[in-house]
C-alpha cells in the first residue's frame, strides 16, 4: 500500500507490485506456463510494461519456491560477456558464496571460471564471473554448451524448479552469427524442470526469430502483449490519485491515458508529473489544468533533447514525422495527405517512414504509424512547422 506522502506513479524503472496496473490475465497465463516449465516467447512493443510483467511473474514463481534468474541480453557487448553474465546470474541463484563458487567451477569444465567476490548487502555480495581462457570461436562454442546447460543442472542440484527470464532476447541474434540460437534451442528443449520466458521489445525481429527456418520455430507458446484497455487504465489512474490522498477531477485519468497514447510508460510518467505538480502547489485536488501544467513543464525540460532529434532528421523525414503526428498516422501514402504535407511521391514517403522506424522515432501500431515517445509527439505538434 502506498504512503499518502509518496508519489504512487512509477516510471523509468521496473514498476513495483504496488504500482502495477491490470495485466491480470497476462500475468496469470505467464505464471501458469512457467510453472509448467514451458518455454514462453513474450513479444511486446517498447513502453508496454513487458519488463514489469516479467518481474511480477518471477516474484510469483519465487513465492512458489522456484529459483529465478533474470538477464537482460541487450546489456552485453559480446557473446562471451553474455555467457559470463548468464553464468553469474545462475550462480547467484545460490544463497551461499562457497557453495555457489564450487558449483559453478565443478559444472563448467571446458574453461576455468574466474570468480571474484566483494562483500555487500546481499548474501553473495557483488560477484563477477569471467572466463579469461576463452579466446577462439571453438572455445566460445564449448563454453556456451555448458553455460546453457546450467539451469537444468541447478534445478537438479537444488531439487527446485528454475525459471529463467531472458529480456530483450532479440539482441541475441547479434552474437556469433546465428549459432547462438541453435545452441540455446538445443539446450532448453530437454530441460524439463526449467521454465523460460524469452522476451523482446522489437516485434518484427522476434517474429522473424520464430519463423519456420529458425531454431526457435514452435519451441513454445507465444504471448503478444497488447495495450491495457484505455477505460480500465484511466480508472486505475484515478483510483491511484484517490488512494494517495488527492481527489482527481472527473476525466483526469482518461485525459492522461489519451495524451500518453495509452502506453504504460508514458501514462505513468505523465501521471507522476501531474501528481508532483499538485503536491508542489500544496493542494489535494488534481485537475486537468494540473495535467497541462505538468505537460508544459515536461516539454520545456525536454526541449534541447527533442531539438537535437529534430535536427538529425532530413527535411523529408521531418515532413513525414509531422504528417504522422497531424494525421494520427493514417493514410500517409494517399495523394491527399502527400499533397497537404508536401511529402513527394509514395516511394519517398515510404523511405522516410522506414528511416524513422529504424531510428526508433516512429513505430507501427496495426495499420497506423505512431511516434514512439508521446511527449515528443506533443513537441512536434506544438513546436514545428
SS3 readout for 211-224: CCCCCCCCCCCEEE
d(CA 194, CA 216) in angstroms, rounded, equals 16
Question: What is the reported pLDDT for 124?
Answer: 45
pLDDT tens track for 6-18: 889 987 655 555 5
Select from 231, 235, 267, 265 the least CA-distant residue to 248: 235
Alpha helices in 6-49 (DSSP H): 24-35
Which residues sit opposite 10 in a β-bridge? none
Whole-prediction pTM: 0.81
- If phi > 0 it is left, if psi is from -120 to 50 it is alpha, else beta; for residue 6 that is beta
- If phi > 0 it is left, if psi is from -120 to 50 it is alpha, else beta; for residue 37 that is left
**What domains, with CATH codes, occur in the chain?**
23-224 (3.40.50.300), 230-301 (1.10.8), 313-383 (1.10.10.10)
Local confidence band at 250 (pLDDT 50, 70, 90 cut-offs):
very high
Question: What is the reported pLDDT for 2?
Answer: 44
Q: Is 286 helix (H, G, I), strand (E, B) or coil?
A: strand
Between the CA of residue 211 and those of 33, 73, 206, 218, what are the distances in Å? 21, 20, 9, 8
Select from 150, 155, 144 the least CA-distant residue to 110: 144
Local confidence band at 244 (pLDDT 50, 70, 90 cut-offs):
very high
Amino acid at each position: 500500500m502506498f504512503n499518502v506522502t509518496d508519489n504512487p506513479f512509477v516510471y523509468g524503472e521496473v514498476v513495483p507490485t504496488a504500482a502495477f496496473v491490470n495485466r491480470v490475465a497476462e500475468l496469470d497465463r505467464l505464471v501458469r506456463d512457467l510453472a509448467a516449465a514451458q518455454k514462453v516467447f513474450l513479444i511486446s512493443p517498447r513502453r508496454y510494461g513487458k519488463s514489469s510483467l516479467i518481474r511480477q511473474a518471477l516474484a510469483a514463481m519465487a513465492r512458489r519456491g522456484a529459483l529465478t534468474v533474470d538477464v537482460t541480453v541487450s546489456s552485453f557487448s559480446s557473446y562471451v560477456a553474455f555467457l559470463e553474465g548468464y553464468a553469474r546470474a545462475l550462480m547467484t541463484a545460490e544463497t551461499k558464496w562457497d557453495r555457489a563458487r564450487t558449483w559453478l567451477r565443478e559444472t563448467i569444465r571446458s574453461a576455468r571460471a574466474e570468480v571474484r567476490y566483494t562483500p555487500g548487502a546481499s548474501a553473495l555480495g557483488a560477484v563477477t564471473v569471467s572466463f579469461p581462457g576463452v579466446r577462439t570461436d571453438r572455445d566460445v562454442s564449448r563454453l556456451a554448451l555448458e553455460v546453457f546447460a546450467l539451469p537444468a543442472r541447478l534445478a537438479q542440484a537444488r531439487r527446485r524448479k528454475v525459471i529463467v527470464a531472458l529480456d530483450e532476447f532479440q539482441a541475441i541474434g547479434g552474437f556469433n552469427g546465428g549459432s547462438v540460437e541453435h545452441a540455446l534451442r538445443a539446450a532448453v528443449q530437454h530441460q524439463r524442470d526449467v521454465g523460460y520466458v524469452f522476451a523482446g521489445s522489437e516485434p518484427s525481429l522476434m517474429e522473424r526469430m520464430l519463423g519456420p527456418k529458425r531454431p526457435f520455430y514452435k519451441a513454445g507458446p507465444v504471448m503478444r502483449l497488447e495495450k491495457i484497455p484505455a477505460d480500465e487504465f484511466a480508472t486505475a489512474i484515478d483510483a491511484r490519485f484517490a488512494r494517495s490522498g488527492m481527489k482527481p477531477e472527473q476525466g483526469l485519468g482518461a485525459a492522461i491515458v489519451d495524451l500518453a497514447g495509452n502506453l504504460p510508460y508514458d501514462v505513468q510518467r505523465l501521471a507522476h508529473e501531474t501528481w508532483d505538480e499538485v503536491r508542489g502547489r500544496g493542494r489535494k485536488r488534481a485537475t486537468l489544468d494540473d495535467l497541462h501544467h505538468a505537460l508544459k513543464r515536461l516539454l520545456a525540460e525536454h526541449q534541447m533533447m527533442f531539438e537535437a532529434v529534430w535536427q538529425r532528421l532530413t527535411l523529408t523525414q521531418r515532413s513525414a514525422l509531422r504528417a504522422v503526428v497531424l494525421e494520427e498516422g493514417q493514410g500517409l501514402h494517399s495523394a491527399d495527405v502527400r499533397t497537404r504535407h508536401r511529402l513527394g511521391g509514395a516511394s519517398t514517403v515510404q523511405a522516410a517512414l522506414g528511416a524513422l522506424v529504424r531510428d526508433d522515432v516512429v513505430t507501427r501500431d496495426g495499420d497506423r504509424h505512431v511516434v514512439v515517445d508521446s511527449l515528443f509527439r506533443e513537441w512536434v505538434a506544438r513546436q514545428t512547422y
